[in-house]
Amino acid sequence: MYKLIAAIFLILCATNGAIAVNIKHQHKPEKITFRILAVEDPIPPSSFSLNRDSLLVVLIDRQKTQRLARLAFIYMGYEYPFPVDLLDYELLHTFAAVRDRSCDETWQSFSTKAQIGSAGTLVMSNVLTYTAPDAMPDVSAEEVLPCYVVRGQGYKGSHRLALSGVEMSVATAKEPSR
C-alpha cells in the first residue's frame, strides 16, 4: 500500500514539475503583421470560459514575403470579440502573438465543415466569410496553416495599404474598439 502511495506521489511530483517547466518555456509574444482574408463562422460566445474568433490571415514578414496562417483571437465573455471594423482586406494589422502549434490545422479542416444535408447525406460546406472577392486563396486541401494566438491587449495598430502611393493611418490605439 505504501509503495502505491509513494509511486503516485512521485508521479504527481514529476507531472507538476513538467507542467512548471512547460509554463516557464512558453514562447514569448512576437510582433506579427497580417491582412485578414476570411473569418470563420462564429460560434455563440460563452460568459464563463474563453471565446475564440478564428481568422484566415496572410502573414507579412520584414522581407515582404507572405504566407497563409490561422489566427485565433481569444477573449473572455466580458471582453469584446474581434472588431468588425478591422475585418478589412486592405488593412494591415500588427499584433503581439504567440505561435501555438497545438491549434495548427489543415486548410480543408479549417475552411470546410461536414454537415448532414436534407436528404441525410454528408455535405461539405464552406464556413469562411471572405473580406474581399479577390481574397479567396488557391490552397491545397492538405496544406497546414500555422496558428498564432492573439488577445485584444496585443493590438499594436492598423493602417490602410497604400492607395496610389499614399498610405493612410487608420488606427493607433492600444486596444481595438468595437
At residue 156, the pLDDT reads: 93
Q: Do 35 and 91 meet the contact criterion of CB atoms below 8 Å apart?
A: yes
At residue 163, the pLDDT reads: 52
Mean pLDDT of the chain: 79
Given a cut of 90, whether residue 92 has pLDDT beyond it is yes
Q: Where are the domains of the chain?
A: 29-171
5 pLDDT band, cuts 50/70/90, is low
At residue 138, the pLDDT reads: 87
Given a cut of 60, whether residue 168 has pLDDT beyond it is no
At residue 41, the pLDDT reads: 85
Rounded Cα distance, 25 and 122, in Å:
43
List all residues 6 or more positions away from 172 whose beta carbon is below 8 Å from its beta carbon. Answer: 157
Taking the model in full, what pTM does it have? 0.72
114 pLDDT band, cuts 50/70/90, is confident
Please name the residue ranges forming H helices in the chain: 2-24, 107-111
Rounded Cα distance, 88 and 129, in Å:
12
Rounded Cα distance, 160 and 91, in Å:
4
Decide: residue 23, CB within 10 A, 0-12 exposed, 13-18 middle, 19+ buried. exposed
